[in-house]
Amino acid sequence: MNVKTLKWLGGIAGCLEIIDQRRLPAELKMLQCTNVKQLYDAIKTLAVRGAPAIGVAGAYGAVLSLKKPPAKASLKQALAILKRDCDYLASSRPTAVNLRWAIDRTVKRANAFVEKHPSCNLSQLRKIVLAEANAIFNEDVQMCLNIGKNGSNFVKNGFSILTHCNAGALATAGQGTALSLLYEAKKQGKRFKVFADESRPLLQGGRLTAWELKQSGIDTTVICDNMAASLMAQGQIDIIIVGADRIAANGDAANKIGTYSLSVLAKAHGIPFYIAAPSSTFDLKTKSGKDIPIEQRPADEVRLIGNKKITPDGIKIYNPAFDVTPAENITAIITEKGVLQKPNSRKIAGIFSF
């Protein structure tokens, strides 16, 4: 996909431009975030979404935060505002660990620079934070490419692949995580087809993955979430590839609600189940999936389709954004560092030991 999900425009006084994914596929519209509140709302309402993408957005949020202090503000005051704003941004989506990871990295870089250069000015600090955000952006682009190269061999000629939600270019700064495997396989001349789960309630598969794969000329069929088991039983699915928003130290992985059920179905039908995610999605401080916080989304996401109410008045709504797939259901986790077959705590610790 040639369109970039997000990019920084201008220098330290610039803004973050994102694709407003709430409008896809009907309209491709760019949204410019010039302050922290705008970015918070964009992340919260899923104008920008996908764990790696909101991580990169959060890093640029630190740049937006440092636009607020007046030129005569002390460095101590600027750093206090930066911490407050970054904590605020991190609260927008609690499950995806990339957001907190990127924000903490930029704040740490700012504090380290001030500590090393106590006589620096605010303009210099802003430049350092922008450079760090740009580095995170560029690293994400490269990580996506490496994930695709490391996992493309799992996509064989003639395969039918099932994916859930959207883990492509729209979810990252680069060409995606799960979908990166497909893009690399296509470059290699392989012919395959994709079944994209609709991904209720927000239809990220039907709206976003289908739109993205169409731009790339990949044979794609959208199915309702409850059709996946039938296709597996008919032998029409060869592999399942999904992304992740947080991977615990033992390999348990949180992803869009409905992923866990796919992993159970895959196991029952003997179908390989792969997760593709960058190292920034791993949270080694979280021991297992039981400790991963699960974001609860607004009831209207289930209650409404568009502006039309589909449930009776007074009915309760349960709307978790994610579920957790246990490591034992995962055939392999594909990262930019390599492939973890049958992931467990020892193997995961190993790839972070160097």
- Catalytic option among 197, 238, 245, 283: 245
Rounded distance between C-alpha atoms, residue 191 and residue 213, angstroms: 14
Rounded distance between C-alpha atoms, residue 162 and residue 262, angstroms: 9
Contact yes or no for 177/167 (Cβ under 8 A): yes
Name which of 235, 225, 302, 233 is nearest 261 in CA terms.
Answer: 225
User: In sequence order, what are the beta bridge partners of 162?
Assistant: 195, 240
Cis bond upstream, residue 94 (ω within 30): no
Task: Count Cβ atoms within 10 A of the Cβ of residue 310 and give its class: 0-12 exposed, 13-18 middle, 19 or more buried.
Answer: exposed
Name which of 193, 131, 128, 194 is nearest 167 in CA terms.
Answer: 194
Q: Is 252 a catalytic residue?
A: no
Lateral strand order in the sheet of 15-19:
6-9, 15-19, 30-33
Exposure b/e, 134-150, CB count within 10 A at least 16 = b: eebbebbbebbbbbbbb
**Positions marked active-site:** 245
